[in-house]
Amino acid sequence: MLAALALLPLVSALASAAATCSPDVVSCSPEAKGADPCCVATAGLFVFTQRFEPEEGDGGAWSIDSLEVLECDGSPAKRAVSPRKTHEQIGSETHASKIIDTDAAERAWAQSEVGEGVEELWERSWNTAGRYVSTICDGDVAPFFAAVHDLHKGIPTAELLNDADISPSEDTTYALSDIVGALSHRGHQPILACDESTLVSVSWPLHAKGKLAGFVPASIDRKSSCPAEGIIYPPALAVYSTTTKYTFDPIHRPTMRPITLSHDASRQVKYDEEEEERKAKKLSFFKGKQKGSLGRKDEL
């Protein structure tokens, strides 16, 4: 009882701090220095990445790939404030939460390139990023994944590109400056990644507001990996039905003789009557000779 009473001031202080957190303090800003870590992220530089999946939907889809949590200088986050969790624990907590539509959030994530399920993706995302967010003081995973999902919905990459007449195409390529220009809305500085000339993903450097109440554009010392010209925005791989009928010259082979005997019958050798009679005489000759030999032996 005394121990519980001793904890009351601490609980009251935490509740008071949570109640007084300003949602407008931006991470890595002068106002964030010295602020309560539960109110503003100390590792406050975020890089949100969306990956393009050509085979999703009717014309491809931009899906959630990852969220990096970095120190304000761009180095990896150093201090984890929440424990590691398994995908079973993460699934249980998110399904029990009322602040996230787990099914919709799961569908928004890009398929793993190494065969992982969305549960494993979330486990890796939490253990490498989410648990380093200082504003998640109680270790609850739901606010982290809800924030990632809301962030994804707030950056309509496909619409921004489409509004600039940039769409998946088999025969049209684009300039890096045109794609970056289409995505650089509201001060964002997107970073494009390409596999050779094919557009793969877009990354967005961000700072967080308050307890992940929102995000604002930021900058980071990274450059796009796409060429200046000739970028391919890949369409879905189409499977075309064959409508043209082709005729081929037949291959002529010799006419095969039909096999009329069974396997065993084909091995039988048939002799004519003269051959059978000759064999019978030969056999009787040896039988007679053997009888004669036996008789002389008895006389001795």
pLDDT tens, position by position, 108-151: 999 887 778 888 999 999 999 999 999 999 999 999 999 999 99
- Model pLDDT for residues 232-268, shown as the tens digit of each residue: 999 986 443 444 444 545 555 555 555 555 555 545 5
Q: What is the DSSP letter of 226?
A: S
Report the largest interatomic distance among the alpha carbons of the chain, rounded to a whole angstrom. Answer: 139
Most confident of 11-25, 95-109, 267-281: 95-109
With bands split at pLDDT 50, 70 and 90, how would you rate the model's confidence at 5? very low
Q: Which one, of 203, 201, 207, lies nearest residue 190 by Cα?
A: 203
| Mean pLDDT score across all residues of the chain | 83
Look at residue 236 in the predicted model and tell me its pLDDT: 82
For 222-232, what is the mean pLDDT? 98
Q: Is the pLDDT of residue 6 over 50?
A: no
Beta bridge partners of 47: 68, 205
The rounded distance, in Å, linking the Cα atoms of 293 and 28 is 124
- Domains of the chain with CATH codes: 23-232 (3.90.730.10)
**Helix and strand counts by DSSP (H, E) for the chain:** 8, 7
- C-alpha 179/C-alpha 160 separation (Å) is 9
Q: Give the residue from 101, 90, 210 showing the smallest Cα distance to 140.
A: 90
Q: What per-residue confidence (pLDDT) applies to 116?
A: 81
Quote the pTM value. Answer: 0.73
